[in-house]
Chain A
Amino acid sequence: MPRLFPRLVLVAVALYEIACFTDNLQMLDHQPLRFPKGSWPAIWQMFTLKSDGQENVWYEGRYGTTWVKLPMDEWYPAEWESGYRWERAAWTHERVVPYLQAACERSGAQEVRAVRLAWKRRLGSAAQFPRDGKLSVRGTRRCR
């Protein structure tokens, strides 16, 4: 009996990992996850799929009629290997809102926006220039 509890825990862990794996496959099948909050710690997507896009994100502030690029890298320098935190925030609209608010406060601009430039990867080359880039506005905020 003393060994029962640890064994039950290990069995539960194994079942949990299997459950998370099935949610992982569901996600790849573009189906909703059964339990995103429960599965998130153990869903592993590490360079699993082919990716052929690059992107760059910057923020701009409007002063009168002029848009000026904001020095977000100086104001918010936290950076991971995947880029700055405010770049990652721009992946979804709801997450970029706090950074737009912050950019409003830091910049004193009348309006701010997060802009994303996306382009295709050039295989085999270190020169990854956005020749065929596509622009999109990830979010705007009128500051005042």
Chain B
Amino acid sequence: MSVSLNWAWTRRLLAVAGLLTWLPRGAWVPEVYSSAGVVVAAGDLPLVKWFVLAPWQAWAVWGVLVGGLLTLLFRPSRVVSGLVLLAGIVLVYSEGLDTKAYDRLFLLQFLALTWAGDGEGQAGRDARTLQILIFAAIYGSTGWSKLLYEPAWATGDVLPGHLVDVHFGLRPVGMLALQAPWVLTVMGWWTVAFEVLFPFLIWVPVARPILLLLGVGFHIGIFATMNVRTFSLIAIAGYPAMASRAEWEVALRLLHRFRGVVLGGVGAWALALALPVLVARLRGPWPGAAWTPPDTALQAQVRAELDALVDGDPAAVVQARWGGTSWTRGAGPTVSLLSEPGAGADARTGTAVLLLLSETLPEDIPHRVRLLVGGPALLGEAPGEVWWIGPVGHHASHRGAQVWPSPWDWVLPARGTFLGFWPAVPAWWRTGSPVDSLQLPDGNWGPEGLPADATRVTDTGGWRSPGRREDNRASLDDDQVTRVVQAFRDHLLTPD
């Protein structure tokens, strides 16, 4: 049976969701997506490493995306869907820093929409299967991750924290829910159960309608309690395409029959969102509406502490202080050495982390930076950890245990081999040899200052988990660390 009606609804809802997402971003097109702004090579696929959009190009791509969405609001077109998908990929991967999950979900759904075309025939049915696979993967991935790695979902301790996040939380309905912790515990169980079971039950015809209905409620709940912008609408937009034709026709009949209830429910929900805010405004400013700066005394303390971080003899600071050390070299490229308390290590034990930043910035395209981190052995304590982070995008030997078997093992070459995937990457970055490929732009460290078995690994960016930094640690003994530190000091610590 044709699912063109389903796809028509998904197309329109996606178009609306896309316009609500991308129209406001028009205010930042030059700043975020073009060379007129601040270009940051971020994410795992930073397009700006190879080309940076000029402002007019960024506007053109954004225009194609928005124009395509407007077109799709009224009629299907595989070509237009494909153009929207391409334009979205260019913008999202150019920006790299603030790529949201709903951006990726939006693009994946457009992949399915492009396949579906007008939704007729086998293409529409195959695209529906793809759509189900996409959602099954999203819910299943996040649900099973919760189940396997976060026991706090069982005790109800996760949602209270997210609901008071200064960015994503502090919504009135969320704050109301916080007054009844048992509600949040049940909501947490419900979330995990829905996500864990979705990949399996979605294929069961009897369970599917109920599952989709519950999913709509799930996303409405997220929208009501958290600040996730258009995420819920983008997710809900995909639901008609997952239903069968018959199921969607039933849903439409029900929506029509109970339109009064639905509209009334939506109105009541909007009022429930707005009323507490109105009441609070009448009483005074919403206390958690904005981050308030520290008070004067704390500001003075902050300033004194920060001033201490950037002054003083670097060598002495390295040996004497645990945190916040920085200095720069006088001429040529700026070389800063920072100590960050707590970065990848436990500040309470006093572990110092030294970061060496070496960067040159050509006119438009930011260069990658190389970081070297020294551990506590620098201060003559327990065998420390020295690790450094190569340029973003370089693959090196993987360390750590292989915990989960994966289909990647069938297609990827042996570990430690660089794939040579990015032709624009300079050749010396592509070598698997960690030591002799390290270079400063204004000098060649060469292998003499570094241990032969030191591993060069990659921080591929992102801050999805604190574990990403710890992945890159290679343990060295005292002697090796001492030699590394000495090499640094010989090369870098020149008086200003």
Closest B residue to A27 by beta carbon equals: B465
In the complex, which residues 30-55 of chain A have their Cβ closer than 8 Å to any Cβ of chain B? Answer: 30-52, 54
> Which residue of A13, A25, A46, A98 is within 8 Å of B40 (Cβ)?
A98
The verdict on B401 contacting chain A, using a C-beta distance below 8 Å, is yes
Residues of chain A lying within 8 A (CB to CB) of residue B389: 94
Which one of A31, A92, A129 has the highest number of Cβ atoms from chain B below 10 Å of its Cβ?
A: A92
**CB distance A40 to B45 under 8 Å?**
yes
Expressed in whole angstroms, the Cα–Cα distance for A41 and B340 within the complex equals 30
Contact B31 A78 (CB under 8 A): yes
Complex CA distance for A60 and B302, rounded to whole angstroms: 12
Residues of B near A46 (CB, < 8 A) are 101, 142
Which DSSP category, helix, strand, loop or mixed, fits chain A's interface? mixed
CB–CB A37/B45 < 8 A: yes
Q: Quick one: which of B168, B342, B369, B393 contacts A134, CB cutoff 8 A?
A: B342
Which of B164, B179, B366 contacts A97, CB < 8 Å? B366
Question: Which chain B residues lie closer than 8 Å to A28 at the CB level?
Answer: 145, 148-149, 465, 467
Check B357–A94 contact: CB distance below 8 A: yes
Chain A's closest residue to B104 (CB) is A41
Residues A82 and B164 in contact, CB atoms below 8 Å apart: no
Contacts of B100 in A (CB 8 A): 80, 82
Using known A-B contacts A130-B294, A142-B328, determine if residue A32 contacts B471 with beta carbons closer than 8 Å.
yes
The number of chain B residues touching the other chain, given as a range, is 35 or more
Contact of A136 among B107, B126, B324, B468 (CB under 8 A): B324
**Contact present for B122 and A97 (CB under 8 Å):** no
Q: How far is the CB of A27 from chain B (nearest CB, A)?
A: 6
CA distance A48 to B392 in the complex (A): 26
- A60-104 to B contact mask, C-beta < 8 Å, 1/0: 100000010000000011101111011011011111011101100
Size category of the binding interface on chain A: 35 or more
Which segment, of B1-9, B153-161, B445-453, faces chain A?
A: B153-161
Flag whether B256 is at the interface (Cβ < 8 A).
no
Would B471 and A30 count as touching, CB distance under 8 A? yes
B275 close to chain A: CB less than 8 A: no
Instruction: Answer whether A17 and B168 are a contact pair too, CB < 8 Å, given A88-B98, A124-B178.
Output: no
Segment 98-138 of A: residues with Cβ below 8 Å from B: 98-99, 101-102, 111, 113, 115, 117, 121-130, 133-138
B406 touches A139 (CB 8 A): no
**Contacting residue for B141 out of A16, A43, A97, A117, CB 8 A:** A43
User: B407-437 toward A: CB 8 Å interface, digit per residue (1/0)?
Assistant: 1110010000000010000000000000000
CB neighbours (8 Å) of A140 from chain B are 310, 326, 328, 336, 338
A38 in contact with B161 (CB, 8 Å): no
Closest beta carbon of chain A to B43's beta carbon, Å: 7
Residues of A within 8 A of B142 (CB): 44-46, 48
What residues of chain B lie closer than 8 Å to A123, measured between beta carbons?
160-161, 164, 178
A contact residues around B465 at 8 Å (CB): 27-28, 30, 45, 49
**Whole-angstrom distance from the CB of B317 to the nearest CB of chain A?**
13
Kindly state the separation between the CA atoms of A77 and B29 in the bound complex, as whole angstroms: 11
Q: A31-B471, A44-B137 are in contact. List 13 more A-B contacts (CB 8 A).
A: A3-B122, A10-B130, A36-B44, A36-B460, A47-B158, A56-B166, A78-B28, A89-B97, A94-B369, A98-B39, A101-B361, A122-B164, A137-B324
* A/B interface sample: 10 pairs, CB < 8 A: A13-B130, A22-B407, A80-B98, A82-B98, A82-B168, A88-B98, A97-B359, A111-B310, A134-B342, A136-B342
Smallest CB-CB A-B distances: 4 pairs:
A126-B288, A30-B467, A22-B406, A17-B137
